[in-house]
């Protein structure tokens, strides 16, 4: 996800959170302490596995971004079997942390309250759990593409996007993540 796209998502989420805060302001006193900032992106990079779905990691990056009071850190990894071959498996993994900004996290995690189970000849989308963490998975059969989103430790947003990965491998990709270790960072 590009920084511009990430900022757009953050801006939309911030607008949602401001609406919730405005509604809560009439019933709750204002918080006296600021939320803790995000985890250092270097720690998030440590959560990126060396291989995913049998494909070696080819790149790992991390960054911390601040937009006024909004701060987040992220780590990203690319896994590519053969960059020259358009049909070769490719995976992108992203871990986002917005710190302990409860209102922001609640706004972005609304999808975890949805129950979805849709299937067609072309693919499926369903809400599920991966290692006891809420998740949403989508897969397209013809293109062998999928997206798995997880909300780990009620704090971290993890997204895996796959291309040219068979369904059997896609269904196992979440189990390969360091979810327990990531959840421990939330405390």
Binned average pLDDT, 10 residues per bin, the chain of 187 residues? 43 48 49 69 96 95 89 95 88 92 80 93 96 96 96 94 95 94 91
What pLDDT, on the 0 to 100 scale, is given for residue 6?
Answer: 44
What pLDDT, on the 0 to 100 scale, is given for residue 18?
Answer: 52
Q: Which DSSP category does 32 fall into?
A: S
What pLDDT, on the 0 to 100 scale, is given for residue 60?
Answer: 97
What pLDDT, on the 0 to 100 scale, is given for residue 85?
Answer: 86
- Walk me through the domains of the chain, giving residue ranges and CATH numbers: 3-185 (3.40.1000)
Question: What does pTM read for this prediction?
Answer: 0.79
What pLDDT, on the 0 to 100 scale, is given for residue 17?
Answer: 46
Burial label, 4 (beta-carbon count in 10 A; 0-12, 13-18, 19+): exposed
Which residues have a Cβ under 8 Å from the Cβ of 50 and sit 6 or more positions away? 56, 57
């Amino acid at each position: 996800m590009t920084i511009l796209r990430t900022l757009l998502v953050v801006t939309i989420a911030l607008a949602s959170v401001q609406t919730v805060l405005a509604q809560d302001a009439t019933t709750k006193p204002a918080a006296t302490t600021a939320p803790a900032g995000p985890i250092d992106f270097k720690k998030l990079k440590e959560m990126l596995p060396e291989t995913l779905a049998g494909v070696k990691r080819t790149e790992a990056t991390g960054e911390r971004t601040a937009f006024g009071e909004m701060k987040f850190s992220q780590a990203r990894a690319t896994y590519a079997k053969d960059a020259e071959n358009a049909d070769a498996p490719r995976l992108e993994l992203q871990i986002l942390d917005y710190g302990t900004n409860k209102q922001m996290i609640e706004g972005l995690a609304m999808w975890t309250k949805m129950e979805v189970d849709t299937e067609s000849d072309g693919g499926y989308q369903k809400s599920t759990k991966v290692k006891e963490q809420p998740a949403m998975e989508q897969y397209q059969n013809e293109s062998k593409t999928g997206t798995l989103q997880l909300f780990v430790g009620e704090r971290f947003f993890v997204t895996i996007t796959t291309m040219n990965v068979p369904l059997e491998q896609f269904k196992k990709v979440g189990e390969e993540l360091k979810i327990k270790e990531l959840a421990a960072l939330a405390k």
